[in-house]
Chains A and B, each alone.
Chain A
Amino acid sequence: MKKNWFWRFLYKLHRYTGLFSALILIMLAVTGIALNHTEDLELDSQMVQSPTLLDWYNIKPSHKLKSFSTKDHWLTKVDQQLYFDHTLLSKNIKDLLGTVATNDFIVVALKDSLLLLSLQGELIEQTTFESIQNIGLGFQQNIVIKSNNSHFISQDGLISWDSYPKNNLVTWSNASAAPQTLSQNINHQFRSSILPIERVILDIHSGRFFGYFGVIIVDISGVFLIILALSGCAVWLKHKFRGLKRHK
């Protein structure tokens, strides 16, 4: 009688833990398969666009925009991203220090490099230049760089640099506020480029997406999975031995 009670309990335990953990196990399996194929499914390069999800992650539009205007174009930095008007130019810049335009091209000064752009905003070349402080136009509209408190001028399209006297006139680039429509658009693009889909799937998989409560639920379902496996094995063994006894 005692033995029957135990097996009945084990059957019920197996059945109900299975029922309780079924949904979570399906969720774990689906997200696990997706994470196993992150690169094939491009989950790490596709970004979440949904405002609701971005709000859930507390990702708000950045208000720290730094803009410079030149030749009817705007260069804007937000976080590590650089925009040429409305178009994303680079995702990985340190600091935007200024921009100037000549008749042939636009030059953008970053902290430790210069971007040479066509007048249409195509990147021609990125070159390194240490400790840039500012950029401006000097003699005959040639590019002048202030670096380590010295001035340098390039007269051959950024290929070589010569020392430039400090007292010579330079029109330095100055930051200014971008038009509101441009700022809003850049803010929207920036917000939609932060959160990879992989991050969300990873958080759903671990339960972190639902906060501490979600992690506990996933932990409990892990324990349930162990119970399921053990009770399943026990029930299978019981049937196996009963079958053997009947044979004898």
Chain B
Amino acid sequence: MPSKIITFILLILCSSIHAKEYQSTDDFLNQVFTGSPPKAKVLWLKKDLQKKVSQILKHRPGFLRTRYWQSSEQTVWIINEIGKTKPITIAVVIKDKKIDLLKVLSFRESRGWEVKHDFFTQQFKQNSLNSDLRLTHPIDGISGATLSVRALTKVAQLALFFNSQIKEPPIKPN
């Protein structure tokens, strides 16, 4: 019996090895908005939006509102999505209805952490959403990280969809 308890403890320890925050939300916002992030706004998921979000996530959304930061040039969305069992925190920067940057801020799963690397996230750059709510350019997967890849792809789709639901930012005067 002690061996079973030790196995459990080892499993819990192993699962927490890769749990890591790569960058805090505040740091990321300061970086994107060069030190002066705008005040956060919120987008409420009313019933019609919830349906579309469920279609993208392939499950019911675990939230009823999401916040975003908008300037005249870009919009930042920070969204959590579960890969296999734990949420991955992903930030998406959108410019001109296209993804300018996608970054994994926190990864808490025990497997699939390879998705945090730039070689993978660069595929999302300049991607946009088609009428079927799918990305216009396909994303190549990573073997052994299928669920994390799926989570990142869904968040990219979701951020682009959310972006299409908010008011355009005011044009900056020259």
Contacts and interface: CB of A to CB of B under 8 A. Distances in A.
Nearest to B63: A125
A58 B64 CA distance: 39
B9 interface: no
B143 interface: no
A203 B4 contact: yes
Contacts of A176: none
Given A92-B86, A160-B39, A160-B40, A124 B64 contact: yes
Contacts of B7: 208
B25 interface: yes
Nearest to A118: B64
Contacts of A125: 42, 63-67
A159 B67 contact: yes
Nearest to B25: A128
Contacts of A42: none
B63 A58 contact: no
A159 B42 contact: yes
B112 to A, nearest CB: 14
Nearest to B11: A199
A235 B130 CA distance: 66
A122 B4 CA distance: 37
A127 B3 CA distance: 39
Contacts of A208: 3-4, 7
B171 interface: no
A91 B15 CA distance: 14
Interface in A139-181: 159-160
A124 B80 contact: no
Interface in B47-78: 62-67
B151 to A, nearest CB: 15
Nearest to A90: B62
Contacts of B67: 125, 127, 159
A7 interface: no
Interface in A80-123: 91-92, 116, 118, 122-123
Sort A-B residue pairs by CB-CB distance and give the 5 closest, nearest first. Answer: A124-B64, A125-B65, A125-B63, A124-B65, A159-B40
30 contacts: A57-B4, A58-B1, A91-B85, A92-B86, A92-B87, A92-B108, A116-B65, A118-B64, A123-B62, A123-B63, A123-B64, A124-B64, A124-B65, A125-B42, A125-B64, A125-B67, A126-B63, A126-B80, A127-B67, A159-B40, A159-B41, A159-B42, A159-B67, A160-B40, A203-B4, A208-B3, A208-B4, A208-B7, A211-B1, A212-B3
Given A58-B1, A160-B40, 19 more contacts: A57-B4, A58-B5, A91-B85, A92-B108, A122-B64, A123-B62, A123-B63, A124-B63, A124-B64, A125-B42, A125-B63, A125-B66, A126-B63, A159-B41, A159-B42, A208-B3, A208-B7, A211-B1, A212-B3
